[in-house]
Amino acid sequence: MYQDEYKRWLEADLVDFDLKQELQTIADDDEAIKERFAVALKFGTAGLRGTLGAGTNRMNIWVVRQATQGVADWVKTQGGTQTVAISYDSRLKGWNFARDAAGVLAANGIKVRIYDELMPVPALSFATRYYNCNAGIMITASHNPAKYNGYKAYGPDGCQMTDDAAAIVYDAIQKTDVLTGAKYMSFAEGVEKGLIQFVDDACKAALYEAIEARQVRPGLCSTAGLKLVYSPLNGTGLVPVTKVLTDIGITDITIVPEQEYPNGYFTTCSYPNPEIFDALKLGLEWAEKTGADLMLATDPDADRVGIAMKCPDGTYELVSGNEMGVLLLDYICAGRIEKGTMPKNPVAVESIVSTPLAEAVAEHYGVELRHTLTGFKWIGDQIARLEADGEVDRFIFGFEESYGYLAGPYVRDKDAIIGSMLICEMAAYYRSIGSSIKERLEEIYAQYGRYLNKVDSYEFPGLSGMDKMAGIMADLRKDAPKEFAGHAVVKVTDYEDTASTGLPKANVLRYDLDDGAVIIVRPSGTEPKIKTYFTTKGKDLAEAQAEKDALTEAIKPILS
């Protein structure tokens, strides 16, 4: 079966020379053919993501066209403007995939608004809403290594597509032959017919205006003298992030030269993810060289931002996504109360795998903290509910532990542009009062307790990886652990049981232990890995870390 499909591809006019060459290279390698053709990339709420290359189990123009035909079939049932917004980041083949998606939509009579240059996830979410589109498409593999690309689909609200819509699109994809089933016209023809238009300057300006309107202390940055090192990690952040920072008065910015311009090969870091040290290493070297107050980096599609803060002794320390989420929540609340801009009955939102420390901070400021499933679309859903009730201004902040932040309802996905702006404003504020981010974080720990939040990942590569992950989760449900590292499990929460959680169904298990520690086990929705999230609390960091290490050793055999 897979050999037949391979031969069909080999004999087809694939347009892309790289694909044809790859197919010829694997002619005598049954395992390589099987790996590319035995299955197809599955379209879900996160869209598609996979290794670049030839075959149904790879990212290429044919798989992109097939997916876009599925999106087009769904859009045609939706009425409205019959328009789709498209953006793409710096990944290899990104512009090719974006252009081909536009060609499929145009051939289906659907209008397209596409960015004329690479732009990040928040810009796509914003354009989708700005033009009242039926859908949006973002060509990106987020922070994956260079060999990956992906395809994120968005609904009319600027959130990633709902489960129901994604299921309909997937059904349409399955009825579309990958090589011959998608309608298609060239990009040039689509432009000539007026079906494909570029996103205009008014839309871009409106995005920057919406972000800059969310400053907590406007005007502060122009006099604070903040010294910054910034890395776009060879992605989309350079133009939007530096524009907003310059607009609000932060001008002493050193861009990491090796990571300044778009480069889909990501030659300076194998994994362009601001959550990991290797991606920030060059930036840290520049921070030490320049004596910067702060070093920050955004991932290729600029929806996540990671930082290193300067400590009183002159060294630099990485800040986790949970710590930054808590710092920003604290800063926004205190600042808006001080400025008289805090709305009545304010709402903040965090994912279920994010830190309980946020609950203590929210309670301190009288803010309602809501919990959602992992995936920023669920935070977007909470904003949409407030909007439906005419109370969207109540939303002040949302975050996930994976370095995603949003303050304001102008988009419905995480936004590293506003994240960068608020982090820099916060750093400038603490600098202006003779303090620092590091000192404020220590004050928070002293006030609420020394929490530690850590994430471990267990990878399951290959065709059997997903089956193995499913087996592990099934075993955990069938025979729930009674204790971890000598601490009894006092409560098990299974997020597949919607009646007990009040949330949509999710393949997530939570274990509350007798000393207040928490372990959460969750298969990734986009990669073949299971993630374990640990929350421990001690009298100091060493005590919290010791328990985390013991819990890691206890769960390892279960996930191996």
Complete DSSP assignment for 58-98: SBSHHHHHHHHHHHHHHHTTS-TT-EEEEEE-SSTTHHHHH
Residue 196 neighbours by CB under 8 Å, 6+ apart: 102, 103, 106, 111, 112, 114, 187, 190
Nearest to 143 by CA among 10, 320, 280: 280
| Chain segment 242-262, per-residue pLDDT in tens | 999 999 999 999 999 999 999
Nearest to 155 by CA among 146, 147, 164: 164
Tell me if 368 sits within 8 A of 346, measured CB to CB: yes
Q: According to the 3-state scheme, what is the secondary structure of 345-411?
A: CCEEEEECCCCCHHHHHHHHHCCEEEEECCCHHHHHHHHHHHHHCCCHHHEEEEEECCCEEECCCCC
Phi and psi at residue 227, in whole multiples of 5°? -110, 120
DSSP, collapsed to helix, strand or coil, labels residue 115 as coil
Name the DSSP class of 180: T
Nearest to 481 by CA among 534, 525, 434, 521: 521
CA dihedral 4, 8, 10, 16 (to 10 degrees): -140
Q: According to the 3-state scheme, what is the secondary structure of 258-327?
A: HHCCCCCCCCCCCCCCCCCHHHHHHHHHHHHHHCCCEEEEECCCCCCEEEEEECCCCCEEEECHHHHHHH
| N-terminal to C-terminal alpha carbon distance within the chain | 32
The structure's pTM equals 0.95
Amino acid occupying residue 549: D
Query: Residues for the chain: how many in total?
Result: 560
| Chain segment 495-549, per-residue pLDDT in tens | 999 998 999 999 999 999 999 999 999 998 667 899 999 999 999 999 999 999 9
Nearest to 12 by CA among 65, 72, 50: 65
The whole-number pLDDT of residue 439 equals 96
Measure the CA–CA gap between 505 and 19, rounded to whole angstroms.
Answer: 39
Angle at 186 between CA 139 and CA 154, to 5 degrees: 30
Name the DSSP class of 193: T
| Chain segment 433-460, per-residue pLDDT in tens | 999 999 999 999 999 999 999 999 999 9
Measure the CA–CA gap between 204 and 191, rounded to whole angstroms.
Answer: 20
Phi and psi at residue 212, in whole multiples of 5°? -65, -25
Name the pLDDT band for 44 (thresholds 50, 70, 90). confident
- Tokens representing residue 424 in the block: 């820099």
Can you tell me the mean pLDDT for 417-442?
A: 97
Q: State the CB neighbour count (10 A cutoff) for residue 231.
A: 32
Measure the CA–CA gap between 311 and 182, rounded to whole angstroms.
Answer: 56
For 406-435, letters b (16+ CB in 10 Å) and e give bbbbbbbbbbbbbbbbbbbbbbbbbbeeee
The whole-number pLDDT of residue 354 equals 95
Tell me if 458 sits within 8 A of 530, measured CB to CB: yes
Measure the CA–CA gap between 150 and 45, rounded to whole angstroms.
Answer: 12
Q: Which residues are catalytic?
A: 142
Name the DSSP class of 140: -
| Chain segment 198-253, per-residue pLDDT in tens | 999 999 999 999 999 999 999 999 999 999 999 999 999 999 999 999 999 999 99
The whole-number pLDDT of residue 526 equals 65
Tell me if 271 sits within 8 A of 281, measured CB to CB: no
Percent of the chain with pLDDT over 70: 100
| Chain segment 122-157, per-residue pLDDT in tens | 999 999 999 999 999 999 999 999 999 999 999 999
The whole-number pLDDT of residue 496 equals 95
Measure the CA–CA gap between 247 and 250, rounded to whole angstroms.
Answer: 7
